[in-house]
Structure 1
């Protein structure tokens, strides 16, 4: 015996097959992404930027688990180098503070000892990711103390560089809030953990770019320097407002790394030359700022950014 299943047809239907009997299909042209004009230069730039950003994500995928640790080490490397320099040049540092900065005997010793202890302790805590919020406060205090103690607070280059270093420290603090998932300071009840993260990320992004601004307006000008400065300032603006911030940060990491190797090449200068210490200082400070940018690549620009707003609208 053969059984047969009958399928009831809707009233008024013809005998032929209807692919969409319930009218779910939509033959109208889409007004969304597919309707974008492919010949529009802004659309082409957006597609290119998205491709570059995707490629950066692919290329950095093997390094992503290690990026935060690498970034934290680079951020504090200038403090580690500075503490080593103070210890190895202890008598010279004392002579400078007492002779040129008029520190009383004993106060100069205490000033240097506090700086070394804070830098070593704070750097170790940042690398180990323990008490990072207190470590960033300690290292920021060192930056301020040295600016006042060595009389460099009105030196524009020093000022801009140290603003960028403090931006890197703010990125460390933001990363602590980002990964911890709870408030870092219970004494600030008016701001939630999410709000603190957004504001610290914004402040860190803005401060990080001051190093490149100082580089752009320092030294002799040339066509190549003008081109690099314009492109770099454009990338800095993108970082500050949070537009394609990961792409712009990755670009600045490459530019600053190349610049650092070729311009601050302290290893090519004789150890007795006074310029060597200045170049070494600039080299390690630039590494710290590169570390802050790497953290930005890892975490993203945060809530107060164009990239985040584009997800909402």
Structure 2
């Protein structure tokens, strides 16, 4: 026998996936741990889409974040520890800054592993190293529970708009049962393979992202020094072979797009320290499998320096354009 929602049923009667969406079960419970810049809007979207069918409980070590969430979502419940979330939930989502935080939340005192029961599904949306993802998955499975790594791409705008891309590593038999929840927070959900492959896909994506942002910043820096107006150069790039997400969506030059961090003094968004962390994960993984990543290594070193530069520590990663001097050049119109 094991517990689902408010009733007890024989284990032989149910599959893990069925516990999520069978109409025979009354109220199921979703738990969400980690209400930071990404986690908060993700939790908001998930709660909004499931509040008629699920209970919703939250935890964050920042009491202000949980108070804010429960104040605007009165039907949610804040609890004191990750253990409490796991003990009351049928499915648990975590969105945390780094590998150390994931290990602490799952494996630490009053962590998820102390409260999780057989059949519960845990979905970690953090970006962490592949080894940690696989280690935590083994520990969750030892509790007869299920673990999926499902890191995301798209940044805070996509988290707010519910248009994230999820890259999922998990036993394929568990993927479909969780996909419907991920689709409430994103528009693209990819199955990548067994545990850890979601993280592998994510660090490859973010290495490309970091490299492209540096390349775009150097390009605009050069163009402005040669006398080109940023608006014109941006139009040319986006109708030519130099187009990238950094030029057509997440514009790095202030004023090209009023809705991105560059036009808000590089506040919000994806921090330089997080980009440095993700590039470090990619470089470490490349070292383990003996893959050459010269541009990835160069981008990592650049972002480490930026993250350690006074006034840049908490800025969005597109601030590399300012760090290179591009903003001053723009104000000087190429002189």
Name which structure has the greater RCO, CA cutoff 8 Å, separation 6+.
1
| TM bucket normalised to smaller | under 0.3
- Greater gyration radius: 1
**TM-score normalised according to structure 1 size:** 0.25
Q: Which one has the bigger helix percentage?
A: 1
TM-score by length of structure 2 reads 0.23
